[in-house]
Structure formats: structure tokens, C-alpha cells
Structure 1
Amino acid sequence: MYVNRQDSASLSYIGFNLEKEPFDDVRVRQAVSMAIDKDQIIEGIYDGVGIPAIGPLAPNVFGYDENQSGLEYNLEEAQALLAEAGYEDGFSTTLWTNDNRERIDAATNVQEQLKHIGIDVDVQVLEWGAYLEQTANAEHDMFILGWSAVTGDADYGMYALFHSSQVGEPGNRSFIRNDELDELLDQGRRSTDETERLDFYRQAQELLVEEAPMLYIHHQQFLLGVRDEVKGLEQTPNQILLLQNVSLEQ
């Protein structure tokens, strides 16, 4: 028996509602992002299975920028940004999740970590239908969700999450509206030149580091137990089993 480990094209994230104070201030969003040690979540909740996310795209998605550093864990800088934004003593907020054990555990971990910079988080668990409806209506402060770039392309991994035409139910539940970002995503969608597209998505990822509409947690890895006599079994990054080359070795 061995374990087949497949990197996915998915993302788990905590989104901020840019239409609500204090998350309408980019410094607050950056501070929260820098105050979370993602390794704690991956090791403690996902048993070390997963890749820390620096942005919305997994490494195996076309358009991923390997030179992007993201917002790194730095409590001192997070506290300085909060003070600069006028929240030296922190603030109170809510973090929504649906009834999913791993997401609830991630939410409570974030709740504990944010205490270190004076942010008091009330974790609220919502029924799935109400969760989707209310986050689509911008009723939340922070929320946990996931997304998968099932096509393996940056357009699917970024357009719905960040384009202003997609706010609410289509996928942009952080309600980010940025003309420069819209133009980059539009150009990436229109262009047929791979080099051009890579540059558009590189610029878009750089802009998202600054705008920090969400805290990127991790890219999932799929684990599958396989008996030793099973040969040639593969999984795709969206968890589809490829069986055409499978054989049994007696």
C-alpha cells in the first residue's frame, strides 16, 4: 500500500468585505494577512497536507507567478499597519464559515492568532444556503471559502474572484472593484499570446498583493491510498481519477 499525493488547482482563503469598515482600509487587510501563520493551519488542521498559498493561483495553474512573494508572516509589521490605520488597540469583527469541520477549525485558529494584534473575532457558523446568500449580499465581515481553477488556467482562477463584474453571487464576495485589475483580467482573457497572458496575470497578482482582498491559506493536496499491485493510477489536479492506464500486477 502506498499513498498517491496529487497537487490540486484549488485554493482555500479568508475573504474580506471591502465594502465594510475596517476592511475598506487596505492597511487593515494587509495587517490581518501578515498576522496569520499559515503553517499553523496546514500542520495543525490539515496534518501537513497542502501547499501554503501566496496568491490565488496554485503552482500548476497557467499564469502562476513563481517570483511572487506575497505578504509574509510578520506580527510587528501587522501591528504597525493597524496603528497607522487608526486601530492601535485593535477592533472587533466576525468571521463566517459554513458547517465544515476543517473550515471551523481554521476559523478558530485564525481567531486565536488575531488576538496577538488586538483583533477580537467572533466565529459564526452558518447553514450553507444562508451562507452563500448572505455573502453574496455583502452582509459579512470576513468569511472562509474555496475556489478551484478547474480549467488549469488563470482566467478561471482569477476572473470570477476579482473582476468587478462578478461581485456577489458569481464569485467576487470580497467586493473588490479595481479598474486596473479589471483591465488586466480582461486583457488576459482576450489575448491569444501565451507570453502576453503570463505578463497580464503577473501584473494582476502583483496588484492583488497590494490590495489584499483575501488571505490566501493553502492549495489542497489530494491523498489516495493505493494497493501495491495497482499500477498506472493517476489523479488530475481537480481530483478526477485517470483509469485508462491502470493494471493489476499479480
Structure 2
Amino acid sequence: NTAREPFNNKDYRKALNYAIDKQSIVDAVYLGKASVANTIVNPTVFGSDQKVGKIDYNPEVAKELLEKSGVKNKIIKIMSNDNPVRLQAAQIIQANLKEVGINAEIETVEWGTYLQMTAQGDFDVFIGGWVAGTSDSDIVLFPLLHSSYKGGAGNRANFENSEYDRLVELGRKSTESSERIEAYSKAQEILAEENPLVPLYYKNENMGLNKRIKNFIPVANTIHNYAAIEVQ
């Protein structure tokens, strides 16, 4: 929540990113069936730039950034709904933050309360997820972080950056693929510097398929077309 102290401090936010061992979450929670995220835009999505945003787990750098931030002895709350996968991730994050001197409490709420409190800005940090249903960066970068979408509309981090807004607006309006890719790349560079969200992981969509099923083609956004399926 960038509208609340100490998360309005850029160095503090960046320290959180360095402090979290995302690979441990992938290994322990997903048993390796996921990959560490560099940016909030999944690599299968148009406009994702995997060359920007990569922050490796480094608790020593996290400690340096915390010192630079000037924030002392702040107890923070990690909000999660009662999804067991998110709760496991929260526990790992809690342990990671403890290692760099941040005391974190986990607050578990039911789904309706989770949506209401995050929409109203009544939280410190929360664990969430997003599906890029259109396979285009616009469906990620605009609703999650454009300043006009603050609160329940999607920008629950309450992030505001005029240059970021300009870039994602350009990506939405332009009909030139190269111009859109450049705009989205620069927008992701801003996020890598500002850290309004900490990208954790891209989870795999694992599917079991009966050998009697023919002509099923999986789609990356999980909105599958079942019309051509045959059962033998």
C-alpha cells in the first residue's frame, strides 16, 4: 500500500523485493511447478519484458536498503485470504523478512473481507494474483497500476506515477506493435525501480488429460476451446 507508511518509501519497498526468497516459494509451495517472476507481466503475454525487473534474493542488499530508508522497528501485516497456497507463501515471506529485521504478522481473512479491505486501502501489504486473460500487457499494466484505477478498480497498491500512466495509455491507444512493445518495456522499467508490487512467481497450469480425449489444445490464458474435442 504505497499510500501508507512505510510503504510510501521507495527504498523500503525495494528492500522487501530483495528480502523475499521467491525460489523457495516455488520449490516449497509449488514443488517446482512454477518459475520466479521478474516482472508482473507473464513471459507468454505480449509486451512482457523479461530483461527488466530481475531482482535476485539478497538479504544483505535488503538490509542496506532498509538502513537507507531510515525505517526502524516497524511491525507490518501481511494480508491473505484463506487460500492455503497463499498462506504458505506468506509464511515463507514472513520468515524471510524476519531475517532482515522486519517483523511481519500474517492476517488471514475470508474472501469478501479481503476484497473489501484491499479496495479501501485498509492494509499494509497483501498477497494476490492476476490472470492476463487477453494475453496482452494492457490487461495487466493498466488496471493494476494506472492511477485512474486506484482502489477497488484494480490499483490496490494506490500507485501513482505520471510517466507510467503516459506509457500504458500509449500502449492502449497505439496500433503499432513496435511502439506498444517499447511503451510497455519502459513501463516495466519504472515498476522495477519503484516496486509498487513485488512479483513473486508465475505458476504453471497443470492439466491431466484422459487418453480417450482427442483434439484438445491448451491455451496459455486457461480459457480453453472445448468445441473441437472428441471422446473416443
Quickly name the TM-score band, shorter chain normalised: over 0.9
Q: For 1:56 and 1:188, how far apart are their aligned partners in 2? A: 16
Whether the aligned pair in 2 keeps the contact of 1:30 and 1:71 (CA below 8 Å) is no
Q: Looking at both structures, which has the greater relative contact order when contacts are Cα pairs under 8 Å and sequence separation is at least 6?
A: 1
2:151 is the counterpart of 1:168 = yes
Residue by residue over 1:107-141, the C-alpha shift from the partner in whole angstroms, topping out at 9 and shown as x without a partner, is 11111111110111110011211111111111100
Consecutive unaligned residues in structure 1, runs of 5 or more:
1-16
Q: For 2:93 and 2:151, how far apart are their aligned partners in 1? A: 24
Residue by residue over 1:64-94, the C-alpha shift from the partner in whole angstroms, topping out at 9 and shown as x without a partner, is 113224222111111000001113x552100
Secondary structure of the residue aligned to 2:133 is coil
How many residues of Structure 1 are paired with residues of Structure 2 in the alignment? 232
Whether the aligned pair in 1 keeps the contact of 2:53 and 2:189 (CA below 8 Å) is no
Question: Structure 1 length as normaliser, TM-score?
Answer: 0.88
Residue by residue over 1:200-224, the C-alpha shift from the partner in whole angstroms, topping out at 9 and shown as x without a partner, is 0000000000000011111121111
Q: Return the structure number with greater helix share.
A: 2
2:163 is the counterpart of 1:152 = no
Q: For 2:119 and 2:183, how far apart are their aligned partners in 1? A: 27
Question: Structure 2 length as normaliser, TM-score?
Answer: 0.95
Q: For 1:109 and 1:224, how far apart are their aligned partners in 2? A: 26
Cα drift, residue 26 of structure 1: 0.5
Of 24, 32, 53, the residue aligned with 1:48 is 32
Secondary structure of the residue aligned to 1:115 is helix
Q: For 1:221 and 1:113, how far apart are their aligned partners in 2? A: 24
Structure 1 moving runs of 4+ over 4 Å: none
Secondary structure of the residue aligned to 1:222 is coil
Determine the structure 1 residue equivalent to 2:19: 35
Determine the structure 1 residue equivalent to 2:78: 95
Q: For 2:160 and 2:50, how far apart are their aligned partners in 1? A: 25
Secondary structure of the residue aligned to 2:151 is coil
Q: For 1:127 and 1:178, how far apart are their aligned partners in 2? A: 31
Determine the structure 2 residue equivalent to 1:191: 174
The amino acid of 1:172's aligned partner reads N
The amino acid of 1:92's aligned partner reads I
Q: For 1:90 and 1:54, how far apart are their aligned partners in 2? A: 29
Q: For 1:120 and 1:24, how far apart are their aligned partners in 2? A: 18
Whether the aligned pair in 1 keeps the contact of 2:145 and 2:155 (CA below 8 Å) is yes
2:57 is the counterpart of 1:73 = yes
RMSD between aligned residues: 1.4
The amino acid of 2:223's aligned partner reads I
% identical equivalent positions: 36
Cα drift, residue 231 of structure 1: 3.4
Whether the aligned pair in 1 keeps the contact of 2:19 and 2:62 (CA below 8 Å) is yes
Consecutive unaligned residues in structure 2, runs of 5 or more:
none
